[in-house]
Amino acid sequence: MKHILRLLLLLSVACSSPPTASERLSGTGFDRKLADSLLTLAFDHEALYTLLADIKPMSSICNLSMPLARQDSSGVNDAIAPEQKRAYLQQIERYQKVLEALETDDIGFMISPFKQDHEGKRTLQITAYRRSRLNRMVGEYQSFFGQWGFVSGTHPEILIHTIEYEAKGERFRGYGYLFGYPRHAVDFFVQAALSEERTGEFVKRDFFSIPVFVNRPGHFVYAVPKGYQPTETDSAVYRRAVQVLDHYKSIRPEYLRADSSLRALDLWRQEQRKRFPR
C-alpha cells in the first residue's frame, strides 16, 4: 500500500501543469522593475507592433554591450574566464529570467549576440517576436528561407542566429523580412548595399517612416529609392500601425504611476487577453 501511495504521488507531480504566465509573473523573486522597464521600451518604440499587433514579426527592444568578446582570435583558448565576467553573465541571467516569464503562447523574447564584436565588447540584442506572424512570413518567403531548410514552425531563435552569421546579402535580406519590412524595401536595401560594396559609391535614398509613441524618427523606418512615391502597400502598413498606436495612446494614461513611470507589466497582462487589429 505504501508503494502504491508513493507511485501515485510521483505521478501527480509528473503530470502537474507548468506554471501559467500569470503565476510566473507574480512568483517569488520576479524582477518586476526590470519587466516594467523592458516592456516600457517595447511599447514606446517599434516593438509595440509585435506585442500588440502582428504588423512586425520581430522587433528589437534594446541592446546590451558587455566585455565578453573572445580575446584569442585563433580559437585555441577559451573565450573568457567566467569567474572574471561573472557579474555580466549574472546580469544576462537576470534578463533571461524576466523575458521567459513574460512569454505567452504566441509571443516570445530572446537575447541574441551579434557576430561582430568591438574592442572586446559583445553587443547582445533583446528581441520580441510573434510566432504566428513569423510562421506566415517564412511561408511567404519560402524561396528565401528554404535554402536553409527553414519552414513554417522553425523556431525563431534558429532563424535569427542563422541569419546573423550569413553573408551580407543574405543577412540584410533575412533581417529585412524578419523585422517586417515590405519586399520592395528589402530589395532596394540589399541591392543598394551590394552596389556600394562593389563601386564604393553610396546609393542615395529616401525613407518611409511609421510613427511610434516616442515620436522620434529612426525606429520603424525603411529606406526607399530617391524620389520614391509611397504605394498602397506602404500606406496599408502605415494605417494599421496608426490604429494600433492610437489604441496604445488611449490606454497608456490608465497605467501611469504618480511619478509618470508606466506600469507596463499590468498593461501587458491586460492587453494580451484582447484581440487586436490584424
257 grid coordinates: 504611476
> What band does 74 get if pLDDT is binned at 50, 70 and 90?
low
**Who has greater pLDDT, 196 or 70?**
196
Q: What percent of the chain has pLDDT over 90?
A: 73
**Who has greater pLDDT, 6 or 269?**
269
Q: DSSP letters of 8-24?
A: HHHHHHHHSPPPPHHHH
pLDDT at residue 7 greater than cutoff 50: no
Size (the chain), residues: 278
- In this prediction, residues 110-120 reach a mean pLDDT of 89
- Segments of 80-200 assigned E as strands: 107-113, 122-130
Identify whether 11 is part of a domain: no
pLDDT at residue 3 greater than cutoff 70: no
How many separate domains does the chain show? 1
The reported pLDDT for the residue numbered 278 is: 47
**Who has greater pLDDT, 4 or 271?**
271
Identify whether 277 is part of a domain: no
> What band does 75 get if pLDDT is binned at 50, 70 and 90?
low
The reported pLDDT for the residue numbered 34 is: 95
pLDDT at residue 276 greater than cutoff 60: no
pLDDT at residue 216 greater than cutoff 90: no
Identify whether 241 is part of a domain: yes
Whole-number Cα distances in Å, 233 to 78, 182, 184: 49, 8, 9
Identify whether 193 is part of a domain: yes
261 grid coordinates: 513611470
Identify whether 74 is part of a domain: no
47 Cβ contact partners less than 8 Å away, ≥ 6 residues apart: 41, 56, 59, 60, 61, 128
- In this prediction, residues 237-260 reach a mean pLDDT of 96
Range of lowest pLDDT (24-33, 84-93, 149-158):
24-33
Parent domain of 165:
20-69+80-271
The reported pLDDT for the residue numbered 20 is: 47
- In this prediction, residues 120-141 reach a mean pLDDT of 95
The reported pLDDT for the residue numbered 76 is: 56
Strands 107-113 and 122-130: antiparallel
Q: What percent of the chain has pLDDT over 70?
A: 84
Average per-residue pLDDT for the chain? 87
Identify whether 3 is part of a domain: no
> What band does 6 get if pLDDT is binned at 50, 70 and 90?
very low
Identify whether 216 is part of a domain: yes
> What band does 97 get if pLDDT is binned at 50, 70 and 90?
very high
Identify whether 9 is part of a domain: no
pLDDT digits (tens, 9 = 90+) for 160-181: 999 999 999 999 999 999 999 9
